[in-house]
């Protein structure tokens, strides 16, 4: 799959001095180190932070209950708005 790229890299590497190769190696090591740090930072952010919590069925059940409560509240608010809208329309007739 990457045969062509690897062949080009071999050709380019053959033209490099030992110090240039060492420098490139150090740059790649530093780049890999930075990437590992970025991956670790990403793992500290949502959704990776809830990995343990989603294994806890009690926590999941509580969260589902919270969502259902929010849905109920929003449905009630919607009904209130519809009622208010209907009252406004009917009062202007």
Distance of CA 93 to CAs 75, 81, 85, 87, Å?
27, 19, 13, 10
Global model pTM greater than 0.85: no
CA distance 30 to 27: 5
CB 67 within 8 A of CB 59: no
Q: Tell me the pLDDT tens digit for each residue of 48-86.
A: 888 888 999 999 999 999 999 999 999 999 999 999 999
């Amino acid at each position: 799959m990457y045969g062509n790229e690897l062949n080009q890299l071999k050709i380019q590497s053959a033209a490099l001095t030992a110090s240039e190769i060492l420098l490139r190696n150090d740059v790649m090591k530093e780049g890999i180190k930075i990437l590992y740090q970025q991956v670790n930072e990403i793992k500290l952010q949502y959704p990776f932070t809830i990995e343990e919590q989603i294994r806890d069925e009690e926590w999941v059940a509580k969260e589902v209950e919270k969502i259902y409560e929010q849905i109920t509240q929003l449905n009630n608010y919607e009904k209130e708005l519809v009622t208010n809208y209907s009252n406004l329309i009917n009062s202007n007739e």
